[in-house]
Structure formats: C-alpha cells, structure tokens
Amino acid sequence: MDNKVKIALAVGGLVAVGVGVYSYLKRNAMKLMEMTYRFQNFKVKTATLSNVEVGAEVVLTNPSQLSFTITGYDINVQVQGVNVANLKRDNSNIPIPSNSSITIPFDAKFSPSQVGSTLLPLFLDVFVNNKAGAEKLKFRYIGTLSAKYGVVGITNIPIDYTYEMN
C-alpha cells in the first residue's frame, strides 16, 4: 500500500473519531437544555422597612452521562412582577457530576420600596406582621445559566420559577 494512501486513511480515521467525539459531547450538551431544577428552602432572612433579604436554594439535576460546569448565571428576582434584584455571575465554576444533583444557594437583598407603595401593605402583612392575606406574595426567578463540557459550551439555559408565599 502506498504511503499516501496510508496517510489519507489515518487522517480520515482521525477525522471520523474527532467528529464522533464532538457529536457525543454536543448531544450530551444539548441535554442541559432538559436539565431540571427546583427551588427550595425559601427564607426571609431579614425584613425591615428599609431592607429585605430573602434566600432560596436551587437544586440542579444533570440528566446527561457527562459532568459539566456552571460557568455563569444571570437571574432576575421579581416580587409581584417588579424586578427587585439581579443575581449575576460570569466567572462561576460550579461542577455538577453526571446523572446527579447539586444545591446552590441564592440570596437577594432589596428595599421594600422597590415593590411599590401599592404593594407595601401586602408586603408588611406577610413579612413584618406574619399574616396571610387574601393575596399571595409572588417571587419569580427568571433568567439563564451558562455551562460547559470541556471545550463544548452552551449558553442561555432557561430558568423560570415562581414561588407563592402565603
């Protein structure tokens, strides 16, 4: 067999293996779009007339056969449909093993005046007076995550979760 044919076959074989590995990684990376998440342990850490700090944990479940790393997130926190905080980080390095879950804490601080004067009585009843009114207080976390498998990255993984507090 001619050396040129051998080289062509070797290069063709390497290209085929490379395409196969890339396809496998890309297919598993697309599973990130199917990643499940849930929020839990909602807490009001502090509540005063000038400052509110709320906390929650997000449990992310990796449905793929490969581990990946959360590289960033941009999540808006809304109270009664009003943006009160933005949780953003571009340089995250949160590893999530294959076929498993991880819990990530999120805290948000904001001023009660940000929810508007018409919602202030509801806000005070729920947080300060600890009363349950007829209207529920709604928190919404909406945004995106970014992640990567080795060199294959994926952005704009959607997060949209609403929590109603009595």
Beta bridge partners of 61: 36, 101
Domain boundaries, given as residue ranges, for the chain: 3-165
Task: For residues 146 and 73, give the distance between their C-alpha atoms in angstroms, rounded to a whole number.
Answer: 6
Reported pTM = 0.67
Q: What is the pLDDT of the chain when averaged over all its residues?
A: 79
Please determine, for residue 46, whether its predicted confidence score (pLDDT) is greater than 70. Answer: yes
Question: Using one digit for the tens of pLDDT, what is the confidence trace for 66-119?
Answer: 788 889 989 998 887 888 888 888 888 989 898 899 998 888 888 877 766 656
Question: Using one digit for the tens of pLDDT, what is the confidence trace for 101-113?
Answer: 999 888 888 887 7
pLDDT of residue 6: 82
> What fold is seen in the domain 3-165?
Immunoglobulin-like (2.60.40)
Average pLDDT over residues 13-17: 84
Q: What percent of the chain has pLDDT over 70?
A: 80
* Contacts (Cβ under 8 Å, ≥6 apart) of 78: 84, 138, 139, 140, 141, 142
With helix as H, strand as E and coil as C, how does 76-106 read? EEEECCEEEEEEEECCCCEEECCCCEEEEEE
